[in-house]
Structure 1
């Protein structure tokens, strides 16, 4: 039996060996055979690692990738992916809305001349409990009226 060691797989995939072991512990990679106690992987492992990498790049967590991987041997991949993609799209839309609010706030902040938060509308909070929220600020300025 030959095959690639965990170090060779990790190096070629641009991962740490601990990541490969972790993916194996999660069941994302099948337990490979061993030779003299060392894991030995076939080249097929790179297809699975690419699957994981693409799913992560799309924003899926390892737990979500486990769900997808559990459906790859059955005909359920498409439906599992559609459900997870719908959930992920909602998360991305919320992230984009927050990023847009951050951008507007920062554009006003970069020209702010206030010397105290009490006079600056950038630090108004609609929240009674003091939680961080970005107030909508008029692009004409940040001084409170």
Structure 2
């Protein structure tokens, strides 16, 4: 079976070797074998790390990911994954809504064209981003 040194594995998955050592210390990766005193990992570790990275991007904690990986391929793992995924979906939906709002705000700033934070109407206290009922609503309402 082909094995990868820690440097080669790190390069393949776009991580630092120190991150791989950390993942090993917290149980996300099994203990590496040693060859001539150096850590070596089976090629299948690339797939495991891809799963870890995907789960992290989805908002799962390292503890949750470790629990899923520890459960392995048994029937309990499928139920555990389903339960975690069902709890995570509302969090992801909220994140998507918040990210879309941020994207829209950036697009509005670009469309405004003023590129001046001091005078931009979008950033004014009574501008489009202000809360209803706060601040003046029409010219001349200022105190």
TM-score (norm 2): 0.68
Question: Residue 33 of structure 1 aligns with which residue?
Answer: 33
Equivalent position of 1:59 in the other structure: 59
How many angstroms apart in 1 are the aligned matches of 2:17 and 2:58? 23
Number of residue-to-residue matches in the alignment? 129
Counterpart for residue 89 of structure 2: 89
1:15 shift after superposition: 1.6
Q: Which ranges in structure 2 are unaligned for 5 or more consecutive residues?
A: 113-119, 139-143
CA gap of 1:103–1:72, structure 2 versus 1, over 3 A, is same
Superposition deviation, residue 85 in structure 1 = 0.8
Structure 1 or 2: more strand by fraction: 2
Q: Residues 98 and 74 from structure 1, CA distance in 2 versus in 1: closer, same or farther, beyond 3 angstroms? A: same
Match of 1:123 in 2: 130
Task: Say yes or no: does 1:144 pair with 2:115.
Answer: no
Aligned residues of 1:121 and 1:144 also touching (Cα < 8 A)? no
What's the CA shift string for 1:57-113, capped at 9, x where partnerless? 433232221121121143212111111111111101222333454466667776574
TM value normalised by structure 1: 0.67
**Structural RMSD (CA):** 3.3
